Each structure stands twice: as C-alpha cells, then as structure tokens.
Amino acid sequence: MTRLFITFIISAFCSIGLAVRGYAQSDGKRDIVLIIVDDLNDWVGCLGGHPNAKSPNIDALARSGMLFSQAYCNSPQCRPSRTSLMHGVYPFNTGIYFNVKGPNEIKIKTPTIHGFFESNGYRVVSGGKVFHGNHDNFGDAFLHRPKDPKPPRGKDNFNAMRAPNDGYPLQVGDHEMGDYKVASWAIEQWKKQTDRPLFMSIGFYRPHRPLQVPKRWFELFPLQSINRPAEPNGINDWADMPEFARKLARSHAHKPMHEGLSDHEYIVKNDEWDSTIRAYLASIAFVDSQIGRFLKSLERNPRGRETIVMLVSDHGWHLGEKKHWCKGAIWEQTTHIPFIVRGPGVKPGSICTQPVSLIDVYPSLVDLANLEIPSWLDGESIKLQINDPSKPRSPAISSYGNANTSIRTNHWRYIRYEDGSEELYDHRNDPNEWFNLANKSDFLKIKNKLINMIPEDQYPGLKVQKWFDNFQK
C-alpha cells in the first residue's frame, strides 16, 4: 500500500468524521442548561437585595446575559412552585397549592419540560434537586441530591418544624457537600460528546435549610458586620395590614408555634437574628461558588452547539421582613427571585424590568430552542423582551392556597386573601411594602384594575384559614 493511498484513506475518514460532526451542528438545535437554586431570594449582588451579599458568579452570569429584575415565583412553597415550573401550568389551574397534597388536586397529564425536550430528540440530563421530593429516574442521566455532612452530635439545631436558627459552620471541605458533588457530576455530563443536543437541569440545594455550610463561608461575614432588613421608622408595619395578613406573617408554612411564639418572636427573644442572616448569606456564597465551577465548564461546548443558559430560584425567602421568616406568604420577599438568561441574541449586561415568573420558563426555553411552543402551557415566552426589554408583559401571578392571590405589575403589588381582605403597595415609593393603600380612596381606580387581573374560577383546594385554625388557636 503506497504512502499516497494511506494518506488518501486517512483524509477520507477525517472528512467523514467532519461531515458527521458538521451534521450534528447544522440541525439548528441548541443545548439548553436550566439551573434551579433552592430558596434563593433576591440577596444577590445583581439584584441588590442585601448589602452583605456575595454572589460573584451569579452576578457574572447576569453581566453576560439578560437579568429580569422583576421576576417572581407562582407559589411560595417548593412542591407547588416546582410542579408549576416543570409542567408549565399555574397552581390555580391544578389545585396544587402546598407542599402537603390536597384531596382535590388535578393530576397533570401533559409532559414535563424534560419529557418535551426528550420527545424532540434531546439527550436529557438532570441532577440535584430539580423536582420536589422523590422523582422517578428519567432521561439519559439522573443524579439524586447527595446528602450533606452534619454537625457533631449535640450541635445540630435543625428541625423543620422549628424556627430557621439552624446555621452552623461545618468543619468540612467544600468537596464533601452535596452541591459540590452535583456541580462535579454536571461538569462531567456537560463534557460528553453526542450527536443529540443536550437539555440539562441542575438543582442546587443551598440556601435551603439547614443553613449549614463549610466554616470558611461563614468567615466571609463577621457577625458584627451583619445588616438586618430595613424596618419602618417610627411606625408599626402591621398597623395597616388586615388580620389575615398578620396571621400569615406569624405562620411558618403553617407549622406549630414555638410555645406560642412565631419564628420572628422566637428568634428575636433568643437574639439569633444576626446569626441566622449570617448563615443564610454564607449558604448563598457557598452555592454561588459551586454554580461558578459549573458555569466555568460551559465556556467550551464539546458538541459545537450554541448554548442557552437560564438560572432561576423556586421562590424567595423572608429573614424578618414584615416580622416573617422563610416562605409561605405572597409579599415581595417571599416571591421575588433571580431570573437570568444567557445565549445567542441576548445582549450582555441587559436588564428587563417587565414582570416575568416561573410559569414563563417552559415556553421561553422551548422558544429559545427554536421549537414550537405547546398549546397547553400557561406562560409566555420572553423572546420578545430579549429583543426589546421595554416590550410590556402580563403581570406575575402568585398563589398561596385557594383564593389567596398576588398580582405584581411593574410598579404595583395587589393581594386579595381568601377572606376578602386586601393589600396594595406602590413599589415606586414603597419597595419594602410598608404602606398598605388598599383602603385609600385615591387608589380605587388602580386597585379595581388589578382586581380584574385575578384569575376567575380558581381550582378549589386547601384554605389557609384551616392551618390558622390548627396552629394559631
């Protein structure tokens, strides 16, 4: 066999390889990466939610894409929020309102976002906490959330039924934590070369409770440097809140009181406000680092495809605002979340102030993947805002139990509770929601306009009052 003939054979095989690889790249499909962070409110640098926050990697992602600064969850608990996100249907259309299952919930039969992309020829990969609770393995690769190390015996203060004063600086390295392992697994999955495009969902657990991360992250936030959330000067924030809202503020996802004390009363009594904020900030800094490790791996696409990256949280979290803690309410801090998109056609460093919510994740990723949006989805794509951030959008709607509904527009939040009581806040003048305008005659016109945005015929489900009767007798 002559040298010329051998060279010809090698060249032919190389050409075939390039042709196959070129075919994979020229089908127009993009890789999709969806990052979901658990219980992360707006305490990240790019949203300016807290002056002590350290989130350089999430902030860098925002600078490289578009930040939707007015983004909200559709329900302030994990199960209903993630179910709504993954299936693309509102809680008020299914009756899935709480982590606890209600007797009348609709079983959703349409495909999850994972099932949709799988049926469209994608390799589907999912790791960490993406769905709430146990979920059957699905797609081509699946990783259950790895467990975290615990404090020494006698030092673990975590109890899901108790106040969130469970912060603890673990004497471990980052590599021992579950979120570190999720990031490492995701990096390896990203590196796999396949002809199919990739749909990847990665769920990071912190800053979900327990607020326990390696000690070095606590050391970034000296206790004496901690800033508490702002409080109204010289007035009682609860003075103009309806009784139902006050009961909601005292509740902790409708769990029993602590010897008659709410979470806030208990934490203040035990002088643990600053230490709990510190633990939450440390948890954010830790998970931001793991997200950064994963984002670093995305700098090169081994499949040669364009890549869409989206980062969201499942809901917000209170740390004493309105004398409330954790989730389980429909005010700003419980519902406001990060929502960042990076990819082809997205102008780096751009900001959209139009309202979006997690109901828009499914149709947006489908649209950005250049696929047809299914008719069963309740949300709307953000593609118009990517092209023009000033394009108006529908309000963000959040539900907490049947008939407890929040309407959030660019400037207003209107809340109507199941007993008919109301709250109305003008965010241009009152970003902390301290001054309830619902009973002011000057705002009747705007209030009626927002009332008309509340969905009619909401699916019946558990009432919040039932939890009040059980736990706030």
pLDDT per position as a tens digit, 261-309: 999 999 999 999 999 999 999 999 999 999 999 999 999 999 999 999 9
Give burial (CB, 10 Å; 0-12/13-18/19+) of 420. exposed
Q: Specify the pLDDT at position 139.
A: 81
Q: Specify the pLDDT at position 22.
A: 37
- The answer to whether the peptide bond before residue 210 is cis (omega within 30 degrees of 0) is yes
Beta 422-426 vs 412-416: how paired, if at all?
antiparallel
CATH number at residue 258: 3.40.720.10
Q: Is residue 6 part of a domain?
A: no
| Contact (Cβ atoms closer than 8 angstroms) between residue 53 and residue 40 | no
DSSP-assigned states of every residue in 326-378: ES-S-SHHHHEE-EEEESTTPPTTEEE-S-EEGGGHHHHHHHHTT-PPPTT--
Q: Is residue 435 part of a domain?
A: yes
Q: Specify the pLDDT at position 21.
A: 37
What is the token pair recorded at 291?
């997200």
| Number of domains present in the structure of the chain | 1
Q: How far is Cα 184 from Cα 143, in angstroms, rounded to an integer?
A: 11
What is the token pair recorded at 446?
């705007």
- Under DSSP, the state recorded for 469 is H
Q: Specify the pLDDT at position 14.
A: 42
Q: Is residue 336 part of a domain?
A: yes
Q: Specify the pLDDT at position 6.
A: 40
How far does the chain reach from its first CA to its final CA, in angstroms?
Answer: 93
Q: Is residue 387 part of a domain?
A: yes
Identify the CA nearest to 76 among candidates 260, 262, 254, 280.
Answer: 254
* Three-point CA angle 280, 283, 289, nearest 5°: 145
Q: Is residue 4 part of a domain?
A: no
> What's the domain range around 411?
28-471
Q: Is residue 8 part of a domain?
A: no
Q: Mean pLDDT by 10-residue block, N- to C-terminus, for the chain (473 residues)?
A: 41 38 62 98 97 98 98 97 97 95 90 96 96 72 95 94 96 98 98 97 98 98 97 94 97 88 96 98 98 98 97 98 97 98 97 98 98 97 97 98 96 98 98 98 98 95 90 83
Q: Is residue 9 part of a domain?
A: no
Q: How far is Cα 117 from Cα 123, in angstroms, rounded to an integer?
A: 8
Q: Is residue 15 part of a domain?
A: no
Q: How far is Cα 368 from Cα 385, in angstroms, rounded to an integer?
A: 12
